[in-house]
């Protein structure tokens, strides 16, 4: 895909180390592209990763995951989004494992990830671990991804109720992660309803986002302390950036025991609402110029006729003898209303054709230098 300077979505991001004093082991990236080919569709790719491991190994793992996935997606053509997501995550998992084997300090490090790829208005997702993706549409919020945790498996097996799962000692035991020795199984299920089968969730990939819909990626530092309904209430009632700050503050007020990272992608409410107005203005402007030009020509013709008549009758009064009435010559006529002057006046008052106004495209000329809308400082935790 081709890097693009601007995104066709509204984007907001935030990350915070939390209140426990630990390093920020979350990483994220948001990139803008255009697909190659005649259609040149706009695309936005977002990925977040929550690292696990001591001695700063968690942040190393998360950084490897984000960089590997982002670079792999950028190198794809965007025509097979699910295949590209699967390959990118598997490559990232292998890269984390290889790095952990090569460095004793990083032994056993791992990471989660949640990825969202929006091509035009279609959404594709992939995830590993307990980082989540939500879809906010109007008054509804839906968790699109499935947690790969001991708790989730126990609830699916009917061993625990949601109430029993709260504050369970195994609540943070992850069953699937990047950095495992075996190839990781990438979860491509996109759940739009709680009662869908796995086959139905896979068929949901490429779901069409409607104007105003928001896709929210977040680490468990948020979802452990803030419920989905609270996320909905805040996101629905506040501006995008302010809402992310409010969510982060709420999690920190409730303990902030983990790093908090949130990425929000929102479809514009309206993309083409100003287009008809601009077309009408352009058309009416052309009509006004034509009307002015026609008026000028008519006025000059009237003045020419009046001047010629005045000259004719004035000569008749000064020369009463009919036999000596002068004959008008082209030279005298030109001196009275010079044709060249008339042409000059018309040329002066004829406007040059006004330039046709062009709309600023949502995704302007490509600038390969800018790949990431919100670049992440690799080794500088955000306070």
What pLDDT, on the 0 to 100 scale, is given for residue 171?
79
CB 145 within 8 A of CB 189: yes
Whether pLDDT at 336 is above 60: no
What pLDDT, on the 0 to 100 scale, is given for residue 364?
32
CB 243 within 8 A of CB 263: no
Whether pLDDT at 337 is above 70: no
Tens of pLDDT, residue by residue over 221-231, are: 999 999 999 99
- Cα 210 to Cα 8, 51, 169, 240, distances in angstroms: 13, 33, 40, 17
Whether pLDDT at 90 is above 70: yes
What pLDDT, on the 0 to 100 scale, is given for residue 256?
97
* Residue 135: pLDDT band with limits 50, 70, 90: very high
Residues 6 or more apart whose Cβ sits within 8 Å of residue 176 = 128, 129, 148, 184, 185, 187
Q: What residues does 214 pair with on adjacent strands?
A: 136, 266
Whether pLDDT at 370 is above 50: no
What pLDDT, on the 0 to 100 scale, is given for residue 79?
93
381, 126, 45, 58: CA torsion to nearest 10:
20
């Amino acid at each position: 895909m081709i890097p693009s300077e601007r995104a066709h979505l509204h984007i907001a991001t935030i990350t915070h180390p939390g209140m426990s004093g630990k390093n920020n082991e979350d990483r994220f990236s948001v990139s803008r592209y255009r697909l190659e080919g005649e259609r040149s569709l706009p695309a936005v790719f977002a990925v977040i990763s929550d690292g696990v491991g001591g001695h700063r190994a968690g942040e190393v793992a998360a950084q490897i995951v984000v960089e590997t996935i982002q670079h792999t997606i950028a190198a794809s053509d965007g025509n097979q989004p699910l295949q590209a997501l699967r390959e990118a995550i598997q490559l990232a998992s292998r890269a984390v494992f290889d790095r952990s084997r090569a460095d004793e300090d990083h032994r056993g490090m791992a990471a989660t990830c949640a990825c969202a790829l929006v091509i035009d208005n279609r959404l594709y997702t992939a995830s590993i671990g307990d980082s989540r993706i939500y879809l906010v549409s109007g008054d509804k919020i839906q968790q699109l991804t499935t947690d790969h945790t001991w708790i989730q498996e126990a609830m699916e097996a009917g061993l625990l109720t949601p109430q029993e799962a709260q504050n369970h000692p195994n609540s943070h035991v992850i069953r699937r992660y990047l950095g495992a020795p075996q190839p990781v199984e990438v979860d491509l299920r996109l759940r739009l309803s709680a009662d869908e089968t796995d086959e139905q969730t896979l068929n949901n990939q490429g779901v069409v986002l409607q104007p105003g819909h928001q896709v929210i990626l977040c680490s468990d530092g948020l979802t452990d302390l803030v419920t989905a309904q609270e996320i909905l209430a805040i996101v629905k009632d506040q501006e995008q950036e302010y809402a992310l700050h409010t969510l982060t503050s709420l999690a920190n007020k409730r303990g902030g025991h983990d790093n908090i990272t949130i990425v929000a992608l929102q479809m514009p409410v309206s993309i083409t609402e100003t287009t008809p107005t601009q077309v009408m203005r352009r058309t009416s402007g052309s009509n006004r110029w034509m009307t002015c030009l026609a008026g000028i020509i008519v006025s000059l013709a009237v003045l020419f006729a009046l001047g010629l008549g005045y000259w004719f009758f004035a000569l008749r009064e000064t020369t009463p003898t009919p036999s000596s009435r002068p004959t008008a010559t082209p030279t005298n006529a030109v001196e009275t209303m010079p044709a060249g002057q008339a042409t000059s006046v018309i040329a002066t008052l004829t406007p040059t054709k006004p330039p046709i106004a062009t709309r600023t495209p949502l995704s302007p000329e490509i600038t390969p230098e800018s790949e990431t809308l919100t670049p992440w400082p690799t080794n500088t935790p955000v306070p």
